[in-house]
Amino acid sequence: MLLQELSAVFADLGPLAQAVPDYRPRQAQLELSRAIEETLASRGTLVAEAGTGTGKTWAYLVPAFLGGGKVLISTGTRTLQDQLFHRDIPRLRKALQASVNVALLKGRSNYVCHYHLERLSGDDRALKSRTEIAQLRAIQVFAQQSESGDKAQLDTVPEEADLWARVTSTRDNCLGQDCPFVRDCFVLKARRRAQEADVVVVNHALYMADLALREEGITDLLPEVDLVVFDEAHQLPDVATRFLGSSVSSHQLLDLARVMQVAGLAHAREATRWQELAGALETAVRELRLQSAAVAQLPGRKATFDAIPQPEAFDTALAALLDTLAKAVDALMIVKETHPDLMAVAKTALDLRARLYAWSQPDRHGNVGPDTRMSQAIQEMQGLDDMQPLADVSGAPGAHATNQHGLPDTGRQEHPESSGAGLTRSDAIESGDGAVRWLEHTQNHIRLHRAPLSISNIFSRYRPAGQAWVFTSATLSVNGNFAHFTRQLGLGDARTESWTSPFDYAAQALLYVPSSLPLPSHPHFNEQFVDTLFPLIRASSGGVLVLCTTLRAVDHIADLLRDSFDDADIDRTLLRQGDASRLVLLDEFRARGNAVLVGSASFWEGVDVPGDALTLVAIDKLPFAPPDDPVLQARLNRCRRRGGNPFMEYQLPEAAIALKQGAGRLIRSEKDRGVLLVGDTRLVDKPYGRLLWRGLPPFARTREAGQALKFINSVVL
């Protein structure tokens, strides 16, 4: 494709202008598209920061459509994935009259599994309520009528409903070629469509899960492509850290005990005392949780391996659990070929045992040893997988990207590891810059996490020769410097470019940092923050988004605002994170037009509310990562050991990118106007604050309440 063709496509009389109402040519959009075309031609790497309103989606879609090669587009969320596939791509394809075959590919947990749906349909005791009975009936009809089996297309059953976990498969319990419904499998159909398509739309979780499987020697799960575009690329380092690590939860282990007992009694009753074995496993799991109870009293309810209280008792309980799991694996390996359900349970048990053992290494004395007790079982199961490639249907795209650490899905922890893969992943982690291990104690369960301290080597290791990479987002640099992002992903040879937003921020928006507020560490900071914010809320007839750095602050500030509304006799909708799903809250926020929404991390990005429905964004504190983040703390300690400055190298860049994301919620179109209130005076008063606010769009600025009120009153609704 010639670069002149791009000029014609984006021209004021071009096909986009003719097909899209209110289309405006943007020089930055054309330049970004040209840079992507050059990157594709040279098979290079481009890191492209494009400010809000640049039009980066079409900037990368146009060369993807016209370039003639095969393209993979990876998005930050499933919501953006659906938006691309169902809205943006059809509009562009129609405008360009392009005959491009496009496929949508999601994680396995997004597709109905016929086998597990049938099993649940025959077990009335498995349904917990009348609501679940109605949901199951809806899913049954949907599975018969749907071509994709994608749960996002079934509006009557919420995506976060617990029932989805029981009617979808995991990589471990997929029956592969032995499944009686293999010809109808929605996951396999989705993968075939992806193999045949010109453009495939995935998400970062799926891409990283595929990379993690490649780390374990399982290849060709995602199709081979000429170009990979990572949209919302700023999320990649965190997603990569999650998927290149591993986790085991007490929920998974208790679920294993239940499933093992059911499958054993149903298909190999005389082989062993299944009820006794399952009971022993449940007891061992609960004992480990009991011996880690003190972690619940620590900040963040987390503790690294070295900081777990009463380590001797914990280690004893962990050793007992490993021993009980080994006995379960031994029993299952004997009968695994009796029935596909037993094979699936055996794979799950071996995988969890391997991951748990990998988490325990090295021990308190720094010794690392192979899992000799399970090595034969691991080899035997891997040999079976080698003989049955489609038994790794379970490893097909869509099979392994799931809902880890806050990705809103079924709530079950599925991890992209094959049987025994915990050992392989451990070796991969240790071969780099080491790993960090920690235990998380939630209200009902414990989770044992393991993550690499650096993912730069692993991330780029499996990049195919001759494949072009494009990373784009509105927030990739810190005041124009891309070093933090490129260093994390090992992109030392990347071309970096930045295009500013076309919006007139100086006229459209005001940054207000009150001079009267105390430091965030002050015991009454939240009260004074709300006292400062409330006059602006009362003056604004549009919507208000309050972004907090912690969930505790969400509840406190929302309660204070409710009290202020009551005292002033103001009848205004107040929404808070946790009262409903994120999607429901945002839909109501847009519909109300003048609601106040208080949210934390998940609302700092991906919230697109143009127009009068959002005229005031308030941020309580600078978004420095919490001190109880074990991965961050381990990385900071490593930086200190090598003589670096952890605040400048890690904490400040991360805060700058997060702050820019939060600030980006305010102005979403050329017509938007509003005020950004940042309650943390360190943004102005501390020397490092200059680096933060200079990285924001060029807002007009003030520290005076009167100026802020004057600006908010000037916003005509």
The span from the CA of 374 to the CA of 330, in Å, is: 9
SS3 string, 297-351, reads HCHHHEEEHHHCCCHHHHHHHHHHHHHHHHHHHHHHHHHCCCCHHHHHHHHHHHH
Instruction: Using DSSP, state whether 365 is helix, strand or coil.
Output: coil
Contact 581, 408 (CB under 8 A): yes
**404-459, pLDDT tens digit by residue?**
222 223 222 333 333 233 334 443 344 345 889 999 999 889 999 999 998 988 88
Comparing CA positions, the residue from 622, 592, 624, 633 lying closest to residue 609 is 592
Strand pairing class (509-512; 246-249): unpaired
- What's residue 382's pLDDT? 64
Contact 677, 708 (CB under 8 A): yes
The backbone torsions φ and ψ at residue 481, rounded to the nearest 5 degrees and listed phi first, read -100, 125
E strand map for 583-685: 596-599, 616-619, 674-678
Contact 62, 9 (CB under 8 A): yes
Comparing CA positions, the residue from 548, 503, 513 lying closest to residue 697 is 503
Instruction: Using DSSP, state whether 12 is helix, strand or coil.
Output: coil
- What's residue 401's pLDDT? 30
Beta bridge mates, 111: 150
Comparing CA positions, the residue from 226, 192, 222 lying closest to residue 207 is 222
The backbone torsions φ and ψ at residue 81, rounded to the nearest 5 degrees and listed phi first, read -60, -50
Provide CB contacts within 8 A for 283, sequence distance 6+.
none
The span from the CA of 249 to the CA of 237, in Å, is: 23
The backbone torsions φ and ψ at residue 432, rounded to the nearest 5 degrees and listed phi first, read -95, -125
Contact 111, 168 (CB under 8 A): yes
- What's residue 300's pLDDT? 86
Provide CB contacts within 8 A for 640, sequence distance 6+.
646
- What's residue 408's pLDDT? 26
The span from the CA of 599 to the CA of 558, in Å, is: 9
Contact 675, 705 (CB under 8 A): no
Q: What is the mean pLDDT of each run of 10 residues along the chain (717 residues)?
A: 77 90 91 96 96 94 92 91 92 92 93 93 81 93 95 88 90 84 94 94 92 69 92 94 90 94 94 96 97 93 93 96 96 93 91 93 87 76 48 29 28 31 38 78 93 88 90 94 94 94 95 96 96 96 95 96 95 93 89 95 88 94 89 90 92 94 93 96 94 93 96 80
Instruction: Kindly tell me the burial class for residue 99, based on how many C-beta atoms sit within 10 Å of its own C-beta (0-12, 13-18, 19 or more).
Output: exposed
Provide CB contacts within 8 A for 179, sequence distance 6+.
114, 115, 185, 340, 393
Contact 187, 169 (CB under 8 A): yes
The span from the CA of 227 to the CA of 685, in Å, is: 45
The span from the CA of 95 to the CA of 449, in Å, is: 47
Instruction: Using DSSP, state whether 545 is helix, strand or coil.
Output: strand
Contact 533, 618 (CB under 8 A): yes
Which stretch of DSSP H or E encloses residue 163? none
